[in-house]
């Protein structure tokens, strides 16, 4: 379980998160949604230990602030919104970086089997020898996902769930690969791991998530199943524009459409 209590974050002198209280469970996908500037990425950076914070973050009962870096790296892997490499690494070398932080470091063969399996999982089988910088933006994003996957390849280890924290992992992907990535995350959660993912695409969040956190102005405005959060009137309040939640004909999934090409300041 991931437990967040009274979480407050300020960037410089600007308060960004204001007393976040939330719980995410292993075996589930938790999607974090909200408008630009609401604090989604800052929340994920706090969970990852990348920014100082006040309050408490506990991962499976352990205070994250007290965990050694190598222990934390064995428990969770983090995919930031953007990753830049200045040197000409091959795809396999980038993915293998995930092994250095996880429990598979030093395994026979340098973890080549895991690297190959992770690349196959993100539809990049055979790309290992290619230079990372020569790939498209979408292909690079999938390489980075493969990197974090090898870090926590097993969703559960020694009876303890492991976690994926991901910030907009599908923003640069075509629709087929977006769905493929959602399947990767769904399988990880179904096998006992925990997933916390920041998404702008509300329809993807409705499809993949078990729980949705709607963040607005540094606070969680609503939390619960997608049908309750994405399907509720609170969505229009958070985003500041009229939207309608609908059901596909089967009635099994919620989706959202804007009313029109509405502009701020015009009547809804």
Burial class (CB in 10 A: 0-12, 13-18, 19+), 58: middle
Q: What is the pLDDT of residue 253?
A: 73
Q: Domain span at residue 42?
A: 2-258
Q: What is the pLDDT of residue 98?
A: 92
What's phi and psi for 128, nearest 5 deg?
Answer: -50, -45
Q: Is residue 143 part of a domain?
A: yes
Q: Is residue 85 part of a domain?
A: yes
Q: Is residue 64 part of a domain?
A: yes
Q: Which of 252, 243, 197 is nearest to 41 (CA)?
A: 197
How many residues does this entry show for the chain?
268
Q: For 170-198, how does the pLDDT look when each residue is reduced to its tens digit (9 = 90+)?
A: 998 999 999 999 999 999 999 999 999 99
Q: Is residue 267 part of a domain?
A: no
Mean pLDDT for 197-215 is: 94
In sequence order, the 6+-apart residues with CB closer than 8 A to the CB of 124 are 91, 139, 142, 143, 146
* Domain CATH for 30: 3.40.50.300
Q: Is residue 52 part of a domain?
A: yes
| Predicted structure pTM score | 0.89
Q: Is residue 44 part of a domain?
A: yes
| Structural domain total, the chain | 1
Q: What is the pLDDT of residue 259?
A: 58
Q: Is residue 264 part of a domain?
A: no
Q: Is residue 263 part of a domain?
A: no
């Amino acid at each position: 379980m991931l437990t967040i209590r009274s979480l407050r974050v300020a960037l410089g002198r600007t308060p960004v998160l204001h007393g976040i209280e939330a719980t995410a469970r292993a075996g589930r996908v938790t999607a974090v949604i909200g408008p630009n500037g609401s604090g989604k990425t800052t929340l994920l950076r706090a969970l990852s230990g990348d920014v100082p914070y006040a309050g408490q973050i506990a991962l499976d009962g352990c205070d994250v602030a007290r965990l050694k870096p190598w222990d934390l790296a064995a428990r969770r892997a983090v995919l930031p919104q953007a990753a830049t490499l200045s040197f000409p690494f091959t795809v396999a070398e980038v993915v293998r970086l995930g092994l250095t932080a996880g429990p598979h470091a030093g395994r026979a063969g340098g973890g080549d089997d895991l690297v190959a399996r992770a690349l196959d999982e993100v539809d990049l089988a055979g790309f290992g020898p290619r230079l990372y910088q020569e790939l498209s933006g979408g292909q690079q994003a999938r390489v980075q996902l493969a990197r974090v996957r090898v870090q926590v390849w097993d969703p559960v280890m020694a009876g303890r769930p492991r976690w994926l924290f991901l910030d907009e992992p599908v923003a640069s992907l075509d629709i087929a690969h977006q769905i493929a990535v959602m399947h990767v995350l769904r399988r990880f959660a179904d096998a006992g791991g925990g997933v916390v993912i920041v998404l702008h695409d509300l329809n993807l969040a409705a499809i993949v998530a078990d729980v949705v956190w709607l963040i607005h102005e540094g606070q969680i405005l609503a939390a619960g199943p997608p049908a309750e959060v994405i399907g509720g009137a609170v969505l229009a309040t958070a985003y500041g524009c009229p939207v309608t939640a609908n059901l596909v004909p089967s009635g099994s999934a919620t989706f959202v459409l804007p009313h029109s090409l509405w502009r701020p300041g015009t009547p809804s």
